[in-house]
């Protein structure tokens, strides 16, 4: 699987740890930055990651900032992205099984590295259930995207 990953200054260290984990699991990782601890703007990293996912250049995306909130908000502005802000293992599994999330957001100042790595491992290793009820809900989300893309 190819994973695009990005972080702002608040998540750069955790990004590097998650990148290493994903590579150790056999995934290809495209690191879209940032690569410093100087203050940067999270949308500048969320959008390129999401564009890779929407275009099919990456299968999934992972975003990290201080809380994960900013990254998640920015990511979900991109049609076709279902980004989930996750800070526990149960939610990581559920958002893949039920929502078919294609981008994971986490907060480096909210979860420690051990838990974050377990969340990432669980999220990337969980498949969408494909249950009709979940597919119907995702179609409804897509119809909302379509409606507001045409009528801002």
pLDDT in tens, 13-70: 999 999 999 999 999 999 999 999 999 999 999 999 999 999 999 999 999 999 999 9
Q: How far is CA 29 from CA 1, 2, 6, 51, 149, in A?
A: 8, 6, 10, 15, 30
Mean pLDDT taken over the chain? 97
Give the pLDDT of residue 48: 98
pLDDT of 107 over the 60 cut: yes
- Bridge partners of 62, per DSSP, are 5, 104
Could you list the active site residues? 65, 98
């Amino acid at each position: 699987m190819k994973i695009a990953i990005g972080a702002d200054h608040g998540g750069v260290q955790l990004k590097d740890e998650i990148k290493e984990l994903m590579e150790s699991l056999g995934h290809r990782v495209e690191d879209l930055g940032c690569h410093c601890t100087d203050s940067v703007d999270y949308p500048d990293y969320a959008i390129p990651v999401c564009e890779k996912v929407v275009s099919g250049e990456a299968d999934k995306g992972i975003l990290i900032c201080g809380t994960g909130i900013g990254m998640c908000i920015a990511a979900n502005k991109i049609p076709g992205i279902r980004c989930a802000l996750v800070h526990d293992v149960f939610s990581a599994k559920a958002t893949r099984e039920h929502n078919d999330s294609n981008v994971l957001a986490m907060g480096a100042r909210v979860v420690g590295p051990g838990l974050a790595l377990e969340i990432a491992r669980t999220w990337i290793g969980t498949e969408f259930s494909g249950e009709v009820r979940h597919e119907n809900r995702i179609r409804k989300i897509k119809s909302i995207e379509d409606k507001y893309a045409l009528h801002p």
